[in-house]
Amino acid sequence: MKGIEFTEMEIEKLIIIQSVIDGKRTGKEASNKLDLSERQIWRLVKKVKYNGIEGIKHGNCFSNQPKFITDEFKENIKNLKLSDDYCDTNFTHFQELLEERENIKISYTSLYKILTAYGIESKKKHKDRKTHRQRKRKSHEGELVQADGTPFDWFKDGNMYSIHGFIDDATGKVLGAYMCEHECLLGYLETLRQMLKNYGIPKCLYPDKFSVFFPVKAQKLTIEEQLQGKTKPTTQFKRIIDVLGIDMFPASTSQAKGRIERLWETFQDRLITEFKLNKIKTIDEANEFLKKYIKKYNKRFSVKAESEESYFEPVPSYIDLDLLLSIKLTRKIDSSGSFTIKNKKFQILNNNIMPKSKINIYISKKIGIIAEHNNTKYKVICSDNLPSKYSSLSMNEFYKEHYQELYSFALSLLTYNAKENEPILITS
């Protein structure tokens, strides 16, 4: 077909699709390269095979201007919008998904006219928005990070799960997102891990007054208590933030964290459909999907910071993130090499630690529960599982057999519902 012009983006797309046809690249590799779904990649492969290089273009690119929209085309658009796949989308999101998944490129104006002519209204039209004066964005990326969690029926199955999120104030970039059954320490630790790995250490974190961040009972110490060496309790999360050198102060209202509140509006508007289209039905599947979706979201909604200088700092090489992003407790071991957490007794395996020695206990999703003394790490096991005589046993095998119980206990401590239970505090 003579006279067809291709954009640079279309040429790049054609080269990658041709490499899939030639067997030099997988569909998944092409998907990651072009930021398209694998389904869309194979659609393009099929089109190029049957239509030649013209197949890389949208079908409506070949019609003369002004384009004539047929009744059949309108009917197809209506049926797609009313289908189970797209019925929950607003018009803007639907327009994006038509291009992304159905290879239909249509202007928002044309889409709006078609759908409203059928009596279909956008979801956004029914929202009663409260207006608040917007605070000016910070000028530097990493200068201020807003943190929050939101419960929602993400899978439309009647169950409320919480997504924890960090968003950069200057750019609107989502820095991390993690789903749990409810808002809890684990959710914020894993979100923090994503931010530290992908962006680094920000200057300031701006959460609400949740017990994960600040103790509920933060009463002042009396002079007598101070003289006795007592310290105010703080949270496990605050301890980690202090190690990283991040300032943290609470927002007084939800409106004060407007960026992340608007993020939740967008997520609640779009993620239901995204989960449905990608057959996401569990928390684990959602967390894997969110890693990729964040990139898509940031490409669509983030803005350029006023200043080119970033306040994010790299994580120092001497910091072990797996240990840092853990609950840290201090215990004294007894004569049998045991210690107690929440009335549950644990045994340190294969140790030569003197009785009454102070040890550090680390608890996280990644490492389970380990003990540390003089920079040496030790495996632990629930004392309930130990036989009376275990010196001749293969403790490595024994540890593997009972690790799941240990892991489950660790998760139970990390996933306390922050609205109903006080997470484990520290005093120093």
- Other Cβ atoms within 10 Å of 341 Cβ, number: 18
Q: Nearest to residue 45, comparing CAs of 26, 73, 59?
A: 26
CA 150, CA 208: separation in Å to the nearest integer? 12
Do residues 148 and 260 lie in contact, with contact meaning Cβ atoms separated by under 8 Å? yes
Residue 62's pLDDT band (boundaries 50, 70, 90)?
very low
Do 283 and 240 share a structural domain? Answer: yes
The pLDDT value given to residue 392: 55
pLDDT digits (tens, 9 = 90+) for 123-138: 765 455 554 556 788 9
The pLDDT value given to residue 64: 36
The pLDDT value given to residue 5: 62
Do 166 and 92 share a structural domain? Answer: no
Do 272 and 156 share a structural domain? Answer: yes
The percent of residues in the chain predicted with pLDDT above 70, rounded, is 85
DSSP per residue, 247-298: EE---SSSGGGHHHHHHHHHHHHHHHHHHHHTT--SHHHHHHHHHHHHHHHH
Q: Is the pLDDT of residue 209 over 90?
A: no
| Within-domain flag for 315 | no
What three-state secondary structure class fits 78?
A: helix
Q: Is the pLDDT of residue 390 over 50?
A: yes
Sign of CA dihedral 359, 363, 367, 368: positive
Q: Domain residues for 339? A: 326-426
Do 258 and 194 share a structural domain? Answer: yes
pLDDT digits (tens, 9 = 90+) for 340-389: 999 899 988 877 899 899 999 999 999 999 999 999 999 998 887 776 66
Radius of gyration of the chain (CA): 27
The pLDDT value given to residue 427: 56
Residues pairing with 149 in the sheet:
164
User: Average pLDDT for residues 189-199, to the nearest whole number?
Assistant: 98
The pLDDT value given to residue 2: 44
Instruction: Calculate the CA dihedral of residues 324, 326, 329, 334 and round it to 10 degrees.
Output: -110
| Within-domain flag for 208 | yes
The percent of residues in the chain predicted with pLDDT above 90, rounded, is 55
The pLDDT value given to residue 422: 76
The pLDDT value given to residue 225: 47
Residues pairing with 376 in the sheet:
373
Do 200 and 102 share a structural domain? Answer: no
Do 333 and 410 share a structural domain? Answer: yes
Do 295 and 154 share a structural domain? Answer: yes
pLDDT digits (tens, 9 = 90+) for 262-282: 999 999 999 999 999 999 999
| Within-domain flag for 319 | no
Tell me, yes or no, if the pTM score tops 0.75: yes
User: Average pLDDT for residues 161-168, to the nearest whole number?
Assistant: 97
The pLDDT value given to residue 239: 94
CA 286, CA 106: separation in Å to the nearest integer? 30
CA 239, CA 40: separation in Å to the nearest integer? 46
Lowest mean pLDDT among 150-159, 180-189, 234-243, 393-402: 393-402
Total domains, the chain: 4
Output the average pLDDT for the chain: 85
User: Average pLDDT for residues 270-297, to the nearest whole number?
Assistant: 96
User: Average pLDDT for residues 241-269, to the nearest whole number?
Assistant: 89
pLDDT digits (tens, 9 = 90+) for 391-416: 556 767 778 888 888 899 999 999 98
Do 379 and 336 share a structural domain? Answer: yes
